[in-house]
Amino acid sequence: MGVDALIVVFYFVIIFTMAIQARVGKDATVEEYYLSSRNLSWYSIAVSTIATNIQGYQLLGMMGSAYLYGLAQANLEINAVQGLLLAAFVFVPMYLKDKVITITQFISNKIGPKVALIYSSANLILFATIGLGAALFWGAYAADLVFKDYLLFISDDAFTRVSIIIIFLGIFSAIYTYLGGLNAVVKTDVIQFSILMFGACAVLWIVMVKNGGWSALYEKTPELMHLHLPSTHEKLPWTMLFGLFFLNINYWCANQTVIQRSLAAKSLREAQKGLLAGGVIKYFMAILIIIPGIALAGLLGSNGLSDPDQSFPYIVTNYIPVGLRGIILCALFASLMSTVDSTFNSLATLFSIDIYKTYLKPSASDQEVVAVGKKTILFSLFTGIGMGIILLYLKFNNPYSSFTHTLNELRYFINCGIVIIILSAAFIIVRNERMILLGCLLSIPLNLAIKFSFPDINYFVRAGLVIASIFFAIVITASFKKDVKNPIQSFVSSGGKMTIFGRLLLLSLIIIHIIFS
């Protein structure tokens, strides 16, 4: 335990030292603080984007789901490539052409201020509550679940112990984000991603060796080695790919927290290289998160776990040696902080640019805008910690509740409208703010109507139906006036090699679906 404790202390010292070195001065401009002076290279974009995406619930929930359902769970990882390709060749070129700081500004330019305000407000509410709260809760809860014995010095009471971890990690992340903006976020993300990858690789290697290698997956658990499950499957039917396609547009193309690194790129070429490299990394993440769960099912056989979410804790407790456990704990902390710091930075950007600069004080100087952004970080620290502790209370009050799915459904009720907005902004030529606003608002009652009329429909499928039907109606209406842009004409590449890279990445996704179907 002493070695592991030293590793964790060293980790926090390194992260804080890097953050201090990346801090900006008092006279920092808006682009310097929020977009790192638009100077990010492709590797920083790739690593920081994917680090932001990884959370504690993936190591618990997704590995546990893989233990039950196998490769089908990997769909949520590998199909991110669809969203990253669309971001790289369609959406990010539009954003960089308009030189926007927030996606809200792009929506305002293409559709109008009312729809843009709805987009910004919805994201501010989601990020400040569910986004921050869920990231803080899952990271702290996962760390305590796996390393309870190491953390007992904090408190013997589990609720108090995890609450203190939530508060500490929230404050720690807020401090370096406050001081350095996106520059500090990206530099610390690179370190945290490296730790995440090392820890995840160690878990994969050890559990695969224990199970007998890759061939043992097919010998012991052949039923888990299918990417596509029947359409009647309760949780992961193959038909969910339809809804997942649209929801990936929301996450990878219209999410300020994720896309902000691409907006800060040195050039379109660097942004595209970073996003495509991120797609390759997502393949590796699918292997690192999903395969250990399947291998554990093969190891345990009929003497399986009663709670699949115990898969990751079981592996660490029973197979990971001292010393390496400290790195795994750091990896859990890294998964939390790399998401939380990005959310803090995006909240500061959205509120200070979209609300303060646009509506409250249009004449504000760069320094005033940055100062308001920093205050936003402090305010959202309290909302995030508060929501994290509320989620912790709900989990402790009902340990077997699956409120992760409930949170996802709540997000999708709002995210469906966001996808309709961003697709309209990208592909509808002439403004029709009233029609698009109506479509966005109708997405919630339509979602509810389908949910209660057809309760057996998977929520991914439902989301896809809502988005496709409303956007199709908007396209049909706009096409009468020839106001719809040809999607092929929206494709923008920074060079022939980039186009080839993108096509190979798309082809690899298709091949994976065919081989593992």
Q: What is the CATH number of the domain that holds 170?
A: 1.20.1730.10
| Contacts for 335 with CB less than 8 Å, ≥ 6 apart | 54, 55, 56, 58, 59, 139, 142, 192, 196
Rounded distance between C-alpha atoms, residue 24 and residue 118, angstroms: 31
pLDDT number for residue 482:
63
Q: What is the 3-state secondary structure (H, E, C) of 202-215?
A: HHHHHHHHHHCCHH
Does residue 360 have a pLDDT over 70? Answer: yes
**Per-residue pLDDT for 21 more than 70?**
yes
Q: How many CB atoms lie within 10 A of CB 307?
A: 12
pLDDT at 96 over 90: yes
Structural domain that includes position 380: 2-101+116-235+257-402
Instruction: Convert the pLDDT of each residue in 239-288 to its tens digit.
Output: 999 999 999 999 999 999 999 999 999 999 999 999 999 999 999 999 99
Please report whether residue 292 resides in a domain.
Answer: yes
pLDDT of residue 304: 80
Mean pLDDT of 391-404: 75
- How far apart CA 490 and CA 435 sit, in angstroms, is 22
Report residue 212 CA to chain centroid gap.
33
- Specify the amino acid at residue 204: L
pLDDT band at 308 (very low <50, low <70, confident <90, very high): confident
Structural domain includes residue 315: yes
- Two structure tokens written together for 167: 């508060």
Average the pLDDT over 408-414 and give the result.
77
Q: Tokens in use for 175? A: 């401090």
- What's the number of CA atoms in the CB half-sphere (13 Å) around residue 396? 17
- In this prediction, residue 38 has a pLDDT band, given cuts at 50, 70 and 90, of very high
What does the block give as tokens for 502?
């993108």
Closest CA to 172 of 51, 15, 327: 15
Note the pLDDT of residue 244. Answer: 92
| pLDDT at residue 298 greater than cutoff 70 | yes
| Phi-psi domain of 355 (left: phi exceeds 0; alpha: psi -120 through 50; beta: other) | alpha
pLDDT value for 404: 61
| Assigned domain for 177 exists | yes
Window from 96-110, 146-160, 351-365 with minimum mean pLDDT: 146-160
Element (H, E) at 403: helix 403-427
Res. 125: pLDDT tops 70: yes
* pLDDT computed for residue 157 by the predictor: 92
Q: How far is CA 333 from the centre of its chain?
A: 16
Give the per-residue pLDDT at 476: 84
CB 294 within 8 A of CB 225: yes
Contact between 92 and 84 under an 8 Å Cβ cutoff? The reply is no
The band of 517, judged by pLDDT with boundaries at 50, 70 and 90, is: confident
- pLDDT for residue 104: 96
CA 99 to chain centre: 24
Say if residue 488's pLDDT is above 70.
Answer: no
**pLDDT at 343 (0 to 100):** 93
Candidates 413, 382, 388; CA nearest to 55 is: 388
145 C-beta neighbours (distance < 10 Å), count: 18
- At which residue do the structure tokens 């998160």 appear? 289
Q: Does 121 have pLDDT greater than 70?
A: yes
pLDDT of residue 208: 94
Question: Is residue 451 situated within a structural domain?
Answer: no
Q: What pLDDT does residue 327 have?
A: 87
Residue 79 has pLDDT above 90, yes or no: yes
Angle at the Cα of 70 from the Cα atoms of 327 and 515, rounded to 5 degrees:
110
Question: Residues with Cβ < 8 Å from 326, sequence gap 6 or more?
Answer: 3, 4, 5, 6, 7, 8
For the chain, what is the total number of helices (H) and then of strands (E)? 24, 0
What's the rounded Cα separation, in Å, for the pair 345 and 314? Answer: 35
Percent of the residues in the chain that have a pLDDT greater than 70, as a whole number = 95
| 229, β-bridge pairs | 237
What H or E segment, with its residue span, contains residue 69?
helix 63-69
Cβ pair 224, 297 in contact under 8 A: yes
The mean per-residue pLDDT over the stretch 59-73 comes to 87
Amino acid at 444: I
Tell me the angle at which helices 433-453 and 113-126 cross, rounded to the nearest 10 degrees. Answer: 40
Say if residue 485's pLDDT is above 70.
no
Instruction: Report the 10 Å Cβ neighbour count for 194.
Output: 14
pLDDT value of position 484:
63
Assigned token pair, 25: 């001065």
Mean pLDDT of 46-57: 86
- Residue 288 maps to a domain: yes
Average pLDDT over residues 485-493: 73
323: left (phi over 0), alpha (psi -120 to 50) or beta: left
Side chain identity at 57, as an amino acid letter? Y
CB–CB of 70/226 below 8 Å? yes
The average pLDDT across 365-387 equals: 96
Residue 100's identity, in one-letter code, is V
- Give CA–CA dist 476/465, Å, rounded: 16
pLDDT in tens, 414-460: 889 999 999 998 887 767 888 899 999 999 999 999 999 998 888 88
SS3 assignment for 411-449: HHHHHHHHHHHHHHHHHECCCCHHHHHHHHHHHHHHHHH
Domain contains 457: no
Q: What is the mean pLDDT of residues 22-36?
A: 87
Q: Among 515, 132, 476, 86, which residue's Cα sits nearest to residue 259?
A: 86
Is residue 376 a part of any domain in this protein? yes
Q: Which of 39-43, 364-368, 411-415, 438-442 has the lowest mean pLDDT?
A: 411-415
Handedness of CA 278, 193, 197, 307 (dihedral sign): negative
The 3-state DSSP class for residue 480 equals: coil
Q: Name which of 9-23, 88-102, 393-407, 440-454 the model is least confident about.
A: 393-407
pLDDT of residue 395: 83
Number of compact structural domains in the chain = 1
Q: Tell me whether residue 430 is in a domain.
A: no
State yes or no: pLDDT of 235 exceeds 80: yes
Least confident of 8-22, 140-154, 401-415: 401-415
Q: How far, rounded to the nearest angstrom, does the alpha carbon of residue 354 sit from its chain's CA centroid?
A: 22
